[in-house]
Amino acid sequence: MALAQLGSLNALEQTAEHNKFWQRWIGDNLPSADTVGNISTAINCNSIRKIIKHIYARLKRNKALKPLSMGMFALVVDGHESHSSYLLHCKGCLKRVIHTSLGDKTQYYHRHVMAQLVCGNFYLPLDMEPQRPGEDEVAAAIRLLKRVFANYPRAFSLILADGLYMKANFFKLALRHGKDVISVLKDERRDLLKDAQGLFKTEKSYIYDNGKAKRKCWDMEGFTSWDTLKREVRIVRSLETSYIKHHKEKEKEKKISDWIWASTISQQLLPTEEFVELAHKRWAIENNGFNELVNYWHADHVYRHDPIAIETFWLLTMIAYILFHAFINLNLKPQVRCRYTKLHWAKLVTAELYLHLIYYSDGLSPP
Ligand SMILES: [Zn+2]
C-alpha cells in the first residue's frame, strides 16, 4: 500500500478481489482494512525499526551511500506535526488552545521528531519518535537520538538542527557519543549572540560564490559565553545575496538572508565554505524529506487514530520511501533516471500493481 502510494486502507482492501495475486506474494489472502487497522495498533514498532536498520546496513555494505563534502555523513533532527483535529483525539494526542472569533477551542494534534541521514546522494529517514503529552520537542528528540546512537553508532559524525535545539542537554548528549552539532543560533542564547555580533563588526569576513548565492562569511572559534554547555563553541555567519527570477517578471528580485550558526565542530574538520554548504542541508531536507513524504507518500494520513498505529504507518511509509529511492538511485541508469521525474516512476509502480492484479485474476502470467 505504501510503496504503490495508495494512501488508504480501503484502496488496499479493494485489491483483495484479486486474491490470487496476493496469495502469490504473501502466501495468503489480503486481510481486510479493519484487520490491518486493528493490527497496526498492537505492533511492536521496534520490529519495523529493525527492517529499516537492515536496509541501511545493506545499502552501506553495497557502498550505495556516498558521503557529503569532507567525507562526512550528517543527521538532520527535526520535528513535524502530522495532523490536527478539534473533534477526534486519542491518548497520544497533544493539546493546545486556539483562540477563535467564536471563543477558545481545544485542538488535538500529533507531533514527532524524525532523524534523517543526509548523504551525498540520498536522504535516508532512519527513525522517528512521537512527542508525548506534556513534553517538549527536544525531550522527544533526546529519546530518539539515544536510540539512533545505539542502532547507528557510526552512520554519521555530525548533527544538524534548528534553533530550538540550542539546548545544553542536547549538545552534551551528542558530544558524549562523539558527534558534533551545528544548530541555528537564536535569541535564547543572548549572551553568545551578543558576543558574536560585536565581533562581526571588527573581524574580517570571507566572500565566496557558489553559483546560486554570494556568501559573505565570518567564522570564529573559542566562544565561552554559553556557560551551561561548559565548553567553547564556534560561530559561523553567512550573509547571503541571491537573485530570484519570478515567473513573468523580467527583473530579478534581490534577496538577502542572514544565517548565524553555533557549532562544536572545528575549522580544521570542516572549513568555512563546507560548513555553510552543509548547514544549509538542514533546509534541503524540508523539500526532500518531509514534503515528499507528506505530499506523495501520504505520510500524514491517519490510517487509524491511535498512537501506535500512527507510529507504525509512519515507519512503514519510511521503508517504502527508502526502497523507492534505492531503486531510483541504484537500479536505473543515470541517463534514464534524469529523463523522468520521480513522480513518473512512482506512478509506474502503482500501474504495475494494478496490471498484475488484473493478469493474475484472469489466470494469465503478467507480461
Ligand atoms: Zn491522537
- Quick: pLDDT tens for 4-51: 999 999 999 999 887 888 888 889 999 999 999 999 999 999 999 999
> b/e per residue, 346-365, with b = 16+ CB within 10 A?
beeeeeebeebbebbeeeee
Residue 77, C-beta contacts closer than 8 angstroms, at least 6 positions apart: 113, 114, 115, 141, 144, 145, 159, 160, 161, 165
The rounded Å distance from CA 93 to ligand 1 centre is 4
Is-above-0.85 flag for pTM?
yes
Interatomic CA distance for residues 45 and 270, integer angstroms:
36
- Higher per-residue confidence, 239 vs 285: 239
What is the per-residue pLDDT for 367? 64
Quick one: pLDDT at residue 366? Answer: 66
pLDDT score, position 356: 86
Ligand 1 center from residue 136 Cα (angstroms): 16
85 Cα: distance to centroid of ligand 1 (angstroms) = 9
**In the numeric block, which cell numbers belong to residue 235?**
560561530
**pLDDT category, 318, cuts 50, 70, 90?**
very high
Confidence band, pLDDT 50/70/90 cuts, at residue 336:
confident
Across the range 328-347, mean pLDDT stands at 89
Q: pLDDT tens across 295-309, in order?
A: 889 989 999 999 999
87 CA from centroid of ligand 1 (Å)? 10
CA distance 259 to 239: 6
Phi, psi of 93 (to 5 degrees): -65, 145
Distance 184 CA to ligand 1 centre (A): 31
Is the pLDDT at 192 greater than 70? The verdict is yes
CA of 12 to the centre of ligand 1 (A): 23
Are 221 and 266 in contact by the 8 Å Cβ rule? The answer is yes
Q: What is the pLDDT of residue 178?
A: 97
Min mean pLDDT across 130-134, 197-201, 269-273 is at 197-201
Q: Is 249's pLDDT higher than 80?
A: no
Read off the pLDDT of residues 33-44 as tens digits, 9 standing for 90 and up: 999 999 999 999
* pLDDT value for 291: 85
* 176, amino acid identity: R
pLDDT tens track for 163-188: 999 999 999 999 999 999 999 998 87
